[in-house]
Structure 1
């Protein structure tokens, strides 16, 4: 009998097994986090600045893993999904 491994919704097959997940988790747990850079916290941010900024480099945390990055007039929004 052939056992089917996990399959993504887009039908991309993977050769990873549960033992691979455990190995990855153990490796990740041993790594040290880099806390050398802290993003400052602003209670009430001026959203108008996000719309008009063309010169300043800004990094704004939206929530979870989502950031708005502004560099040289370019606005980038990151999203983990």
Structure 2
């Protein structure tokens, strides 16, 4: 179940990052007509959340997967630096 969650949030993170990078590389032609308030409220804030939350979840799932691998490989949790 951890691997499915990890894959899901990683794909969501990648999709949103590519969406934002596509707009950036296009010179903002789809959002440049907005004033700063609308741009932040309707573009930066939602996309920022769609990057921050899956990014945090990706880190959490990866940490849990590594912890499970370490626990299953010898019975003890190895300390990582």
| Larger relative contact order (CA 8 Å, sep ≥ 6) | 2
Instruction: Pick the structure with more helix per residue.
Output: 2
Structure 1 length as normaliser, TM-score?
Answer: 0.25
Structure with max Cα Rg: 1
TM-score (normalised: structure 2): 0.25
